Amino acid sequence: MVAEKLKSVLPVGKRGFLALFFVVVLVGGAVFTGVLGAPRVSGVDNEFGDVTNERTEIGTALVVDNPNPFSVQVGNTSVDYTVEMNDVEMASGHRSNIALDRGETTLGFSTQMQNRKIPAWWVTHIRNDEQTTLRIQSEVRSSAVGRSVRVPYEDEIETDIIGQFNSTETRPVNASAPFVSDPVLYVNETGANWGSVTQERTPIQLRMRAYNPKSIPYTISEIGYEMTMNDVPVGNGTTAQPYTIPAKSEKTLRLQANIRNQQLDDWWVSHLENDQVTELQIEFHAKIDLPTGDTVRVPLRSMTYERQIETEIFQNDSAEGALDDVNPAPGSTTRKTTDGEPTDETETVEETTGTTPTSESGDGTTTVETDDETTTDDGGLLGTLLAVELFDGR
C-alpha cells in the first residue's frame, strides 16, 4: 500500500523510488521512536484589520511549532476557516500550500467580512439576552492522505445596553416657559426592556413614572425620542397616545423606541474605528398642554440616557500579538471567499518563522480535540512522504 501511494505521489525512477522509500522508513522510524516530533498549533491570534463601509478585515495567525531539525513543505495541505457569530456565518476563507520551517512558524490569514451581515447577527444577540458566541472553525486538510483535523476557536461577547435605564432616581422636568412655574413634573422611576425583535427593527419598551406636583391636571400629548450610537442615527419617533396626569398624582408613561436594524452596519464601522467602544445616547422631549390652552415642547434633558458599550472581541487570544510578527511569504497561494462565495480579490498570504526548535514530550504524539471526537496525530504535518508512511501504518 505504501509503495503504491509513493509511486502515485512521486513519479521517479526505480533507484530513486527505492531511495525515497528507505528515507520514508527511516523518517517514520524516527517519529515512532520519538527522535522526530509532531508539529502542533500552539496559539491563535485574531485581530480586526481595515474597516470600510462594506467590509471588515479579520486577520488570523496560527502559531505552529515544528520541533524537527528540518523544514517541511506540504503542498497538498490546505486550511479552510469560517467565522460565525451565534451561528450566523460572517466570513469564510481558504489557504493552500502550507510550509513549516523548523522551530516556530506563524501562518497568517486575512478574511473579509461583509458588514451587511451585522443586522442579522444583531437580532440573534438581542434574542440571546445580549450574548454572542463567536466561533472560528479552522480545518486542516491533506488531499494526499485524505484526512482532516479541526482547530476550534471560541470567544464569548456580552453587553448590557439598556440595563442602566432602570432607575428610581427622582428627576425634575422644567418647561422653561414664560408664566410657568417649574418644575412642571417629576419623573420618579424609569425602566426598560427589549421588545420582540424582528429583522427590521429592535424595539425598546420604555416606562416613566411621572408625578404632577401642581393643583391642576396636565396632559402630555406627545413623547418623542432620538437615538444615536457613536453619533450614527439609529432611531427616532413619537408616541401616539396622550396621557393626562391628575393634580398631585402619578401616572406611568410608556414609549416604544425602535432601533432600525438596517442602520447597524454603519454603527459597526464606527464601533471598530472607536476601538470597540460605542456611546449610546437617547434624548427625549414631551409636548405638554398647559391650562392656559398653550402647548409647550419640553426637552426632557434630565431623562437623557447615555451608555458606553465596550466589547473585547479577539483581545484575549492564546497568542496575542502574533499577527504583529507576520511578514509576507512568497510562493504561497491563497483563495479567499466571503459569505461562502468565491471572489476575484487576492488575499494577502503571510508567514513568519522562528529559528529555535522546540522540544516535544512523551512519544511524539499530539492530540487534537475536534467538535465530536479526539484525533491523535502521530506525524503532524511532516510532508506527503511521511504522511503516507504514517497513515498506512495504522
Which runs of consecutive H residues, i.e. helices, occur in the chain? 2-9, 14-33, 118-127, 264-273, 384-392
Cell triple for residue 69? 531539525
Q: For residue 322, what pLDDT is reported?
A: 59
Q: Which residues of 130-141 are buried (b: 16+ CB within 10 A; e: fewer)?
A: bebebbbbbebb
- With cut-offs at 50, 70 and 90, classify the pLDDT of residue 103: confident
Q: Do domains 38-159+314-384 and 163-310 have the same CATH topology?
A: yes
The pLDDT of residue 190 is 97
Q: Residue 252 has what DSSP assignment?
A: E
Residues 163-183 have a mean pLDDT of 91
Question: Which residues, in sequence order, are CB contacts of 174 under 8 Å at separation 6+?
Answer: 182, 183, 184, 298
User: Which pLDDT score is estimated for 391?
Assistant: 30
Q: Which fold has domain 163-310?
A: Immunoglobulin-like (2.60.40)
Domain ranges of the chain: 38-159+314-384, 163-310
pTM of the model: 0.72
Looking at 33-181, which runs of residues are DSSP E strands? Answer: 40-51, 55-66, 72-85, 88-100, 103-114, 131-142, 147-158, 171-173
CATH hierarchy code of domain 38-159+314-384:
2.60.40.10
Which one is predicted more confidently, 366 or 18?
18
Own/partner pairs for 170-178, CB < 8 Å, 24+ apart? 171/302, 171/303, 172/302, 173/210, 173/286, 173/298, 173/300, 173/302, 173/303, 174/298, 175/288, 175/296, 175/298, 176/298, 177/290, 177/296, 177/298
The tens digit of pLDDT for each residue in 69-84 reads 877 665 566 778 889 9
- 89-116 per-residue burial string, b: 16 or more CB within 10 A, e: under 16: bbbbbbbbbbbbbbbbbbbbbbbbbebe
Residues 243-264 have pLDDT tens digits of: 999 999 999 999 999 999 999 9
What's the pLDDT at 240? 80
When pLDDT is cut at 50, 70 and 90, the band that residue 325 belongs to is low
Confidence of residue 43 (pLDDT cuts 50, 70, 90): confident
